[in-house]
């Protein structure tokens, strides 16, 4: 088996994963989460931060860190648009992708 055959198979695997994702999205779109107010405020601050400089070349670890920071900022956007304070917490309906990104970061 050549490397090319392997990547043809991986491309088909990617299509199947996307098909599963469409079904998951139709069934789970958003999940309601409760966050401590300080965590919610930190996420909103990440959204409001100006990160307008060029990134340049980065290591895989740096790329992953920047990607996670982007995921946090998108959660901050969702909180700023739809979050509702309840006592010492903020309740927000997150898209399953955002909730999953947060879950993966905690692992």
| Residue 1 pLDDT | 59
For 48, how many CA atoms within 13 A lie in the half-sphere containing its CB?
9
DSSP 25: H
Return the C-alpha torsion angle 91, 96, 41, 103, nearest 10. Answer: 110
DSSP assignments along 28-59, one per residue: HSEEEEEEEHHHHHHHHHHHHS---S---S--
Residue spans of the domains in the chain: they are 29-106
| Residue 24 pLDDT | 84
Buried b or exposed e, range 38-56, using 16+ CB within 10 angstroms: eebeebbebbeeeeeeeee
The residue ranges of the chain whose pLDDT is under 50 are: none
Question: How large is the angle between the packed helices 37-48 and 60-82, nearest 10 degrees?
Answer: 110
**Percent of the chain, pLDDT > 70?**
98
């Amino acid at each position: 088996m050549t490397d090319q055959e392997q990547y043809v198979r991986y491309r088909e695997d990617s299509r199947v994963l996307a098909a599963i994702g469409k079904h998951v999205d139709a069934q789970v779109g958003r999940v309601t989460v409760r966050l401590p107010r300080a965590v919610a405020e930190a996420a909103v601050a990440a959204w409001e931060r100006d990160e307008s400089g060029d990134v340049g070349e980065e290591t895989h670890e740096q790329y992953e860190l920047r990607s996670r920071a982007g995921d946090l900022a998108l959660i901050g956007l969702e909180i700023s648009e739809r979050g509702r304070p309840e006592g010492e917490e903020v309740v927000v309906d997150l898209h399953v992708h955002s909730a999953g990104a947060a879950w993966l970061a905690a692992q």
